[in-house]
Amino acid sequence: MISELTYVEERQRAGCRTHYHDGIWWQQPWPLYAKPVFDFRAFPPGTARPLRVRALFGYSHQVPEAHMGNRSLEYMILEGEDLSSFSLDRLPAKKRNQVRKGLKQCEIQPLEAIESWLEHIREIYISQAQRHTEFHDAPATPPSFYVNHADRWRKRELRYLTGAGREVWGALVEGRLVGFLVSRQVEEVRVIEKVKSHSDYLQCCLSDGLYFTVLAETARQGTCRRVVNPGVRGGGLDRYKEQFLFKRTEVPLYCSNVALFHLGERLIALRKWRRLFRGTKPQTGKDSAARGTANG
């Protein structure tokens, strides 16, 4: 667990433009628009706002109660008794069996000395990207990137995985890393950032073992109020998370300029659509070479 200030300092080192006003650290995701550096910093409207000169187009932040907000975002969230009393017995019967299989066939452990695991991690990224290319939406990063720009990827991934407060849990089969889960707890909120798995080992239920172990450890520590799993998509992925007691939850926001917030949502959706469109283009020879060797 890290403090909000430690999180802010890391974002500053990564180039995030910030300023401190009314007791809150603010960032500018777009010019002249502001929001808290830590997304899950909630406070009543009117108790704090960014510097006016930094937020001429408006600002937004989460609020403690639904009636305080004028917008909302959906997340998959584990909290309350479901978190404090999280255990194998509380999961559905089928999921309990899958977790037991994952724990039996995989060794689940925190990953230390991340640099020594980078090649295994790269293989997992390639495998998952290929799987998504073949069976799901095109991934934001194609499989070829991890092959053709391996050195660039290593530097970027090492910097990401060793960021302040990030915890990386791995699933190993006979000493080989075949999957991993990345999360970070800031104050009382843990965010699950990534779960990646190698296609050749999906039958080992490695993701089930990872999810259960990390959530059980979080509950045992007793310092976390809420576990957030971003990316509500509907369908099988959300149902999978629900089996670990996550619930689809509307998180209320206050937006000083709702019209601009709507525009921002549309621009983000357009950018995602363009990225997916580019990802569906026929693969080149270099792309094909990457086959055979999960978002990055």
**Domain of 140: which CATH number?**
3.40.630.30
Count of the separate structural domains present in the chain: 2
Task: Return d(Cα 19, Cα 34) in angstroms, integer.
Answer: 10
The ranges of the chain with pLDDT < 70 are: 135-139, 234, 261-296
Regarding whether 190 and 60 lie in a shared domain, the answer is no
Regarding whether 31 and 85 lie in a shared domain, the answer is no
Task: Return d(Cα 257, Cα 264) in angstroms, integer.
Answer: 11
Asked if residue 165 lies in contact with residue 6, where contact means CB atoms within 8 angstroms, the answer is yes
Regarding whether 143 and 219 lie in a shared domain, the answer is yes
Please check whether residue 191 lies inside any domain of the structure: yes
pLDDT digits (tens, 9 = 90+) for 236-266: 889 999 999 999 999 999 999 877 766 666 6
Please check whether residue 151 lies inside any domain of the structure: yes
Question: What local confidence, expressed as pLDDT, does residue 138 receive?
Answer: 61
pTM of this prediction?
A: 0.84
- Cα–Cα distances in Å, from 74 out to 10, 39, 70, 211? 26, 13, 14, 20
The token pair at 196 is: 């990646």
Asked if residue 193 lies in contact with residue 214, where contact means CB atoms within 8 angstroms, the answer is no
Please check whether residue 294 lies inside any domain of the structure: no
Question: What local confidence, expressed as pLDDT, does residue 67 receive?
Answer: 96
Please check whether residue 115 lies inside any domain of the structure: yes
Question: What local confidence, expressed as pLDDT, does residue 135 receive?
Answer: 66
Regarding whether 184 and 122 lie in a shared domain, the answer is yes
Boundaries of domain holding 169? 76-250
pLDDT digits (tens, 9 = 90+) for 144-169: 899 999 999 999 999 999 999 999 99
Regarding whether 271 and 245 lie in a shared domain, the answer is no
Last residue of a domain, one of 250, 268, 290: 250
- Cα–Cα distances in Å, from 61 out to 24, 58, 92? 11, 11, 35
Please check whether residue 47 lies inside any domain of the structure: yes
Please check whether residue 100 lies inside any domain of the structure: yes
Regarding whether 219 and 119 lie in a shared domain, the answer is yes
Question: What local confidence, expressed as pLDDT, does residue 257 receive?
Answer: 86
Regarding whether 103 and 195 lie in a shared domain, the answer is yes
Question: What local confidence, expressed as pLDDT, does residue 237 receive?
Answer: 87
Please check whether residue 289 lies inside any domain of the structure: no
Regarding whether 178 and 60 lie in a shared domain, the answer is no
Regarding whether 195 and 234 lie in a shared domain, the answer is yes
Asked if residue 118 lies in contact with residue 157, where contact means CB atoms within 8 angstroms, the answer is yes
Question: What local confidence, expressed as pLDDT, does residue 286 receive?
Answer: 33
Asked if residue 38 lies in contact with residue 20, where contact means CB atoms within 8 angstroms, the answer is no
Please check whether residue 242 lies inside any domain of the structure: yes
Regarding whether 62 and 201 lie in a shared domain, the answer is no
Regarding whether 184 and 234 lie in a shared domain, the answer is yes
Regarding whether 81 and 55 lie in a shared domain, the answer is no
Annotate 246-260 with b (16+ C-beta within 10 A) or e (fewer): beebebbbbbbbeeb
